[in-house]
Amino acid sequence: MEVIFKVIRQRPNSSPEVQSYLLDVEAGNTILDCLNRIKWEQDGTLAFRKNCRNTICGSCAIRINGRSALACKENVGSEIALKPQLGSANQVQEIPEITIAPLGNMPVIKDLVVDMSSFWDNLEAVSPYVSTAGRQVPEREFLQTPEERSQLEQTGNCIMCGACYSECNAREVNSNFVGPHALAKAYRMVADSRDNNTENRLEEYNEGTTGVWGCTRCYYCNSVCPMDVAPMDRITEIKQEILNRKEKSDSRSIRHRKVLIDLVKEGGWIDERQFGLQVVGNYFKDIRGLLGIAPLGLRMLTHGKFPLKFEPSQGTQEVRSLIEAVQKEEGK
């Protein structure tokens, strides 16, 4: 079948342009196969990265129809099935189209090749290797139980393709956030029984919005990861390790999570009056925080949007029982 590949091309210091290529392909051809044919048969100037062609190296990550993926893993048939092929007046197009673009959150070098310096710098920032003391060569091999080794399997599958980093909303608005790839690797270090620097790591990952609290929990990193590493789940596990060690008074991020749970247990849903006072105002201890939310409170009050009383929701006892059951299970 014929397919039009609309490639977003860009050179340094220039605006991106769309260039279309018509190919006669099979449904099972991978997107990388098609890019190779475009380069070999039609336009030798097209730039993109590739290497293994077997979903191992991660080199060929690009955006395909608006989402980050590996070009060697996705095929023509599945891409056409995912994207409605509609033209003007919602008429089905005779020739389907597939849009190819470079990864996001990184500057473009040329065409589909991006500068991944920030990606690697942020990975290095979380110290993604076992601590020095943990790397001391023993008389025999490094020993781990099957259970200890199993904690590393999922994060060990990461191939550093950059798909999660490309789609990270938190990274897009917060240049200090290290990114889901780095924090997934960070969890691997926290979970590694050979590492003896866990407490220092957790303090580092707890820092402001640079670490785990910068994550907006949008799930995009999970949805695009080609290796099912589930970076957001790993970030959540680091958060839980931090929460187990911290008190509400330690930081606003800690209070946000703990107060949320306490208020839901108490009322079934959140009493937003208490939530603001306890999280931002730190139980009336943070005067600056209280002054910061005072204008919002006054505007809500004058517009009749400030609730003067709070009624617990129906089923509060059941909600409380569920939360306590989960907390008890996690504490085992």
Q: What is the b/e burial string over 60-79, where b = at least 16 CB atoms within 10 angstroms of the residue's CB? A: bbbbbbebbbbbbbbbbeeb
Q: Pick the more confident residue, 194 or 162.
A: 162
Token readout for 153 is 């399997």
Which pLDDT score, from 0 to 100, does residue 136 have? 72
Residue 46 half-sphere exposure, CB side, CA atoms within 13 Å? Answer: 26
Which pLDDT score, from 0 to 100, does residue 89 have? 55
Average pLDDT over residues 44-66: 96
Nearest to 241 by CA among 195, 191, 169, 275: 191
Residues 182-233: pLDDT tens digits?
A: 999 999 999 999 888 999 999 999 988 899 999 999 999 999 999 999 999 9
CA–CA distance, 167 with 152 (Å, rounded to integer) = 24
Please work out, in degrees rounded to the nearest 5, the angle formed at the alpha carbon of residue 58 by the alpha carbons of 119 and 240: 55
CA–CA distance, 113 with 198 (Å, rounded to integer) = 36
Q: Pick the more confident residue, 86 or 319.
A: 319
Provide Rg for the chain, Cα atoms.
Answer: 25
Q: How confident is the model at residue 249 (pLDDT cuts 50, 70, 90)?
A: confident
**Mean of the per-residue pLDDT values for the chain?**
91
Residues 276-288: pLDDT tens digits?
A: 888 888 888 888 8
Q: Is the pLDDT score of 87 beyond 70?
A: no
- Predicted model pTM: 0.85
CA of residue 150 relative to chain centroid, distance: 22
Backbone phi, then psi, for 331, in 5-degree steps?
Answer: -80, -5
Token readout for 313 is 């929701």
Which pLDDT score, from 0 to 100, does residue 189 have? 94
Percent of the chain with pLDDT over 90: 67
Residues 3-13: pLDDT tens digits?
A: 999 999 998 77
Which pLDDT score, from 0 to 100, does residue 290 have? 87
CA–CA distance, 238 with 203 (Å, rounded to integer) = 11
Q: What is the dihedral of CA 67, 68, 74, 79, to 10 degrees?
A: 10
What is residue 99's DSSP assignment?
Answer: E
Q: How confident is the model at residue 85 (pLDDT cuts 50, 70, 90)?
A: low
Q: How confident is the model at residue 316 (pLDDT cuts 50, 70, 90)?
A: very high
- The residues near 317 (Cβ < 8 Å, ≥ 6 apart) are none
Residues 94-108: pLDDT tens digits?
A: 899 999 999 999 999
Q: Pick the more confident residue, 20 or 288.
A: 20
